[in-house]
């Protein structure tokens, strides 16, 4: 199976003893895993494929190398020829706006592929986790980090509002909009303890290795549950975030009118009564 997951900027592995778990690693350690356009296009491919792969039930996302989960956007590349290259071009500003808008919407869609992915995604972060790291991790479901992590919503420091997802998702991820405003407006660094306190991450571990190991353990636990139940839970939580409670309840009712017909319910109920570990059909 792994053979069909051969990418240039991402390693996709299926670690032994972690049934139904995929481990995606950002693979550009020599540049602190900084992103440029080809990478986010490939990221979308990776997650689109995992989303429909019936052998995958939970996913861990981490960064290669000791220094960084990702240092964010590759600013040098961007300043040399990308969309941000030059604000003073002679092109009609309205026409330039059309191209910038298409560019931003496409970039957003690549990151949103993590949110759209039907399987839960657990991010394990360490070292520098700046700018795009926040956009990317807020599109995931669970965030873990190591003690040495250095977070920042870095975008205002390069003269722009974070437009790839942070400003839309971060206030819905953590509890305090006071805190979100402060870190988004000041671009200041914050560490693991603060991230834990405000609810941005779920837990802090000693180092990169232990963080990834904890992420794989959690992924394995989730992957051992009924995939019908797990994927329904992810979908309904995402829907509920964006709708009223009344709309959330109704959507859940319609969703479960099919999902409750699964044999997984009786399998799980029976295993529970018999103290056995249930097994579930592929999905």
Contacts with 87 (C-beta within 8 Å, 6 or more apart), sequence order: none
Note whether 260 binds its own copies by CB under 8 A: yes
Among residues 62, 70, 146, 231, the one that binds its own copies under rule CB under 8 A: 231
Site mask for its own copies (CB under 8 A), range 133-172, x = bound: --------xxx-----------xxxxxxxxx-x-xxx-xx
* 2/260 with CB nearer its own copies: 260
Among residues 202, 207, 210, 213, the one that binds its own copies under rule CB under 8 A: 202
Least Cβ distance, residue 165 to its own copies (angstroms): 7
* 52/206 with CB nearer its own copies: 52
- Where in 173-192 is the site for its own copies (CB under 8 A)? 173-182, 184-188
* 6/246 with CB nearer its own copies: 246
* 194/210 with CB nearer its own copies: 194
Q: Which stretch binds its own copies (CB under 8 A): 8-16, 32-40, 64-72, 108-116?
A: 108-116
- Where in 66-85 is the site for its own copies (CB under 8 A)? 75-76, 78-79, 83-85
Q: Which stretch binds its own copies (CB under 8 A): 22-30, 34-42, 61-69, 95-103?
A: 95-103
Note whether 194 binds its own copies by CB under 8 A: no
């Amino acid at each position: 199976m792994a053979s069909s997951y051969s990418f240039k900027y991402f390693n996709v592995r299926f670690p032994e003893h972690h049934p139904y778990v995929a481990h995606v690693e950002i693979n550009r350690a020599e540049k602190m895993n900084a992103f440029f356009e080809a990478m986010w296009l490939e990221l979308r491919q990776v997650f689109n494929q995992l989303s429909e792969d019936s052998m995958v039930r939970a996913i861990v996302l981490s960064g290669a190398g000791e220094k960084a989960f990702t240092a964010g956007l590759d600013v040098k590349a961007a300043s040399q020829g990308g969309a941000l290259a030059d604000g003073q071009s002679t092109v009609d500003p309205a026409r330039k706006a059309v191209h910038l808008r298409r560019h931003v919407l496409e970039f957003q869609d690549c990151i949103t592929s993590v949110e759209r992915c039907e399987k839960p995604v657990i991010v394990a972060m360490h070292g520098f986790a700046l700018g795009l790291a926040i956009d990317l991790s807020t599109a995931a479901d669970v965030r873990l980090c190591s003690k040495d992590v250095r977070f920042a919503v870095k975008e205002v420091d390069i003269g722009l509002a974070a437009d790839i997802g942070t400003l839309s998702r971060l206030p819905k991820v953590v509890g305090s909009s006071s805190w979100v405003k402060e870190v988004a407006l000041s671009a200041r660094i914050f560490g693991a303890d603060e991230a834990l306190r405000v609810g941005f991450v779920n837990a802090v571990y000693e180092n990169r290795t232990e963080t990834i190991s904890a992420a794989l353990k959690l992924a394995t636990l989730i992957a051992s549950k009924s995939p019908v139940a797990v994927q329904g839970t992810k979908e309904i939580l995402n829907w509920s975030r964006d709708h009223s409670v009344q709309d959330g309840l109704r959507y859940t009712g319609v969703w479960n009118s099919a999902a409750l017909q699964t044999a997984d319910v009786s399998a799980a109920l029976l295993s529970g009564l018999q103290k056995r570990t249930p097994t579930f059909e592929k999905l």
